[in-house]
Amino acid sequence: MTNNQILIKGALPYGEDATDIAVADGKIVALGKDAGDALVNPEIVNAEGLVALPGLVDLHTHLREPGQEDAETVYTGTRAGAAGGYTCVHAMANTNPVADTAAIVEQVQTLGDAAGWLQVRPVGAVTVGLEGKQLSAMSAMATSKAKVRVFSDDGMCVSDPLLMRRALEYVKTFNGVIAQHAQDPILTAGAQMNESALSAQLGLAGWPAVAEEAIIARDISLAKHVDSRLHVCHVSTAGSVELIRWAKSKGIRVTAEVTPHHLFLTEEEACSYDPLFKVNPPLRTFEDVEALREGLADGTIDIVGTDHAPHPLEKKDCEWQAGAFGMTGLETALPVVITTMVNSDRMSWRDVARVLSEAPAQIGQVAEQGHKIAVGSLAQLTFVDPTVVRTVDPKTQWTKSTNTPFIGHDLAGQVLYTMYNGQFTVREGQPIAKENR
């Protein structure tokens, strides 16, 4: 068993001055050059030159279990999360069966607890079977052992405005949040990629920006009307950023996320006709990417959510039209943020902690589980070497699936250590199974 007292020497909390971090019985008990005085015979870990961040939190992960274990399991998905620096992920509801009852969300949480890589917080479905016809048993999920607070039909839009209003009113009673997949189903019927001159040139059915923006505008109005919490999943257009910026200026209770792939890639990837780049919402224009980066930097967009969506090989090794929507992302999210935002001087390491840990923890209501580097906080920590640049290779990743869109790209930063509740789940870049810690 690992020593329950650990002294991490020379780390750079939030990329600032080097300090020692003393951990005992799962908590941070001291910080500073004399931190070791608080411990007796600790294990010593050299973290010189490593940026220390609060453990990362993902509000948008597809773990696929139950029912789609050929793509991912709770075990393999959370192992990938730990390798990427995560100590908490929110598991989306589009499993088989759908996580629309207390029994299913409790099953997912139990699987996460057994795996032991990180905290798994189930996301409950908004509607029964994700069918958009009647509300799910949200109250039962909220009061279950899983204590669900985030509800989403992700993969499907709650397109009925009356049903969306009722959902927002319902979660307000226990301070929950509706995480909306903003996609008008009529405007996107048969859509394959971003609607543009390029889609016409490639002969692929276009997915207009207004299909996202119209739903966001409607939902902002509904959230204002009922004074409830709305979270907008995977924002992808410049117009969406402007809508959210306006809503926040009016004090409307809206938060939003952007994915790593929408921060990094553009619609030009579709020229390859490779379904690795097929995703919902689609990759957009360079102008959209710039607006998303600006929105993340100025706080209009609150968080980075991975939308980690693994698929078996046969669903991506095919022609574009037959390919599944979705990309993996847990192991590349932090490197993408470092590459696009930190190394371009758009964001500081404090900002990285905000968008990848602190804000998602607050939205998902897991902030009490640590997610800050402070004495007395649970030791949920990530240590990354910012000087390393690695070429993405799916063969070296820990997720069960290989559908990363970043294959062959050089990304900055490598997670060398992840600590969950005072125990290392990753050492020297290698995940350590529960039984071996």
Q: How far apart are CA 306 and CA 195, in angstroms?
A: 23
Task: Compute the radius of gyration of the chain from its Cα atoms.
Answer: 21
**Backbone torsions φ then ψ of 136, nearest 5 degrees:** -75, 180
Q: Is 311 annotated as a binding residue?
A: yes
Rounded to whole angstroms, how far apart are CA atoms 47 and 400? Answer: 29
325 annotated binding-site participant: yes
Residue 231 assigned to a binding site: no
Which candidate, 387, 384, 390, 430, places its Cα nearest to that of 408?
A: 390
The answer to whether 4 is a known ligand-binding residue is: no
Any binding-site annotation on 181? yes
Distances (CA, A) of 194 to 154, 205, 219, 300, 311: 19, 8, 22, 23, 21
**154 labelled binding-site residue:** yes
Whole-angstrom distance, CA of residue 223 vs CA of residue 36: 49
The total number of residues shown for the chain amounts to: 437
Q: Is 60 annotated as a binding residue?
A: yes
Q: Which of 58, 307, 317, 385 is catalytic?
A: 307
Tell whether 90 is in a known binding site: no
Determine whether the annotation assigns residue 94 to a binding site: yes
Residue 36, class by beta-carbon neighbours within 10 Å (0-12 exposed, 13-18 middle, 19+ buried)? middle
Euclidean distance between CA atoms 120 and 113, whole angstroms: 7
307 a catalytic residue: yes
Q: Which residues are annotated as a binding site for substrate?
A: 62-64, 94, 280, 311, 325-326
Q: Which residues are annotated as a binding site for Zn(2+)?
A: 60, 62, 154, 181, 234, 307
**Catalytically active residues, by annotation:** 307
Q: Which residues are annotated as a binding site?
A: 60, 62-64, 94, 154, 181, 234, 280, 307, 311, 325-326
